[in-house]
Amino acid sequence: MSAEIATKGRAILETLVAFDTTSRLSNLALIEWVEAYLANFGIAGRRVPNAAGDKANFYATIGPDVAGGVILSGHSDVVPIDGQDWSSDPWVVTEREGKLHGRGTSDMKAFIALALAAVPLFQQGRRPVHIALSYDEEVGCKGAPDMIASIARHVPAPMLAVVGEPTSMAVVTGHKGIALHEVRVRGHEAHSSLTHLGVSANNVAIGLMHELMELAEALKAQADPDSPFTPPHATLTVGIMQGGTASNILARDCRFQFDLRCPPGQDPLAILAPFMERVAAVDAEIKSRFEECGVTIERLSHTPPLTPVADGAAEAFVRSLTGDNGPALAVSYAAEAGQFARAGFATVLCGPGSIEQAHQPDEWIALDQIDKGAAFMVRLAERLAERPADRPEER
């Protein structure tokens, strides 16, 4: 049966990869395909759209509408291919040397494909599987909160959630949170030889970025040698910088984005409070010279971390399916698992593929990971088809 799910999952993966669901685009074509696929099994789901109506989360219950089920969650969006040198079409799954290449193969359409392939097995369960697909995970986990809230309102209490990020099918119990901000500086243009007549937005931005880099170094100095995260401290990086029109003009506009990734127990807003005060002071200073100018800062996302739970129910249950007996793992990237956990769901990360193969040109997933993911789905279906057993991990 596992081989059949792997074969069917690969075919579904080819379909899902063909949808260009880069975060800046709509994901509705993929959602419509999933709805039609589930309709063939007599299953109807629920959309949770964004405000503009051009994207949607989607979830559906497979099996009886009872408590004690398992959420299998994955994000439908992928990162851009812009500027990357691919050896084959990113939107066509291509097999080479035991690997399936294509955007989203590892992160994380393979997990979604395998869950969909196992739908006929899940329908036989005494407890349900809830397949949940989000949008805009790659740009700050923006879509999932509304979906999670809807699940909490409309679905009989699930036992746990598995977020299928690529973990090589290892069970991951913790991840860092992320706070993403954008700083915009409005300067006053003048000839670059007459600096006293204007304000360079670029120069102001450079000064603020310098302060952030000093903060990054201070965070590095606070490394916890007992931390399960690598690196064992909060990290701060500037990811986007844009500004200026010519080398001999004081820049009118400049913007940059930075992200702060904190392990559980550290509050990013508290860490950034002194920087926020500095931004306000610089803004006031510029406005005192040119009232139309200044600095603004906007929080684009604030994704909570997933805090490891010692002997957690979700970890024990998923380990019983994967056979993973290794040490508890934590990862430094952010994911939607922290959002599920904050809403009260016992949650772990576990999915086929590796994060090391994600986001890069020629993204790939190994065929043996497809097989392992398929085996996981079969074992999950078998467990949920059993009468409720007196298992410690399910109490």
pLDDT digits (tens, 9 = 90+) for 338-356: 999 999 999 999 999 999 9
Looking at residue 46, its pLDDT comes to 98
Per CATH, the number for 177-303 is: 3.30.70.360
State the pLDDT confidence band at 92, using cuts at 50, 70 and 90.
very high
Stretch(es) of the chain classified as CATH 3.30.70.360: 177-303
Looking at residue 311, its pLDDT comes to 82
276 φ/ψ angles, rounded to the nearest 5 degrees? -60, -40
Q: What is the pLDDT of residues 222-275, one digit of tens each?
A: 999 999 999 999 999 999 999 999 999 999 999 999 999 999 999 999 999 999
d(CA 14, CA 21): 14
Residue 392 has pLDDT above 60, yes or no: no
Cβ contacts of 88 within 8 Å, gap of 6 or more: 94, 96, 101, 102, 362
Residue 394 has pLDDT above 60, yes or no: no
- What are the angstrom distances between the C-alpha of 172 and each of 35, 68, 308, 342, 384? 30, 21, 9, 16, 22
Residue 178 has pLDDT above 80, yes or no: yes
d(CA 207, CA 286): 13
State the fold for domain 2-174+305-394.
Aminopeptidase (3.40.630)
d(CA 124, CA 46): 21
Residue 362 identity: D
Q: Which residues are catalytic?
A: 77, 137
Q: What is the pLDDT of residues 307-337, one digit of tens each?
A: 999 889 999 999 999 998 888 899 999 999 9
Stretch(es) of the chain classified as CATH 3.40.630.10: 2-174+305-394
Residue 376 has pLDDT above 70, yes or no: yes
Q: What is the pLDDT of residues 160-174, one digit of tens each?
A: 999 999 999 999 999
State the pLDDT confidence band at 388, using cuts at 50, 70 and 90.
low
Q: Whole-model pTM?
A: 0.91
Looking at residue 328, its pLDDT comes to 83
d(CA 153, CA 160): 15
State the pLDDT confidence band at 387, using cuts at 50, 70 and 90.
confident
Q: What is the pLDDT of residues 13-28, one digit of tens each?
A: 999 999 999 999 999 9
83 φ/ψ angles, rounded to the nearest 5 degrees? 75, 0
Q: Mean of the per-residue pLDDT values for the chain?
A: 96
d(CA 2, CA 352): 14
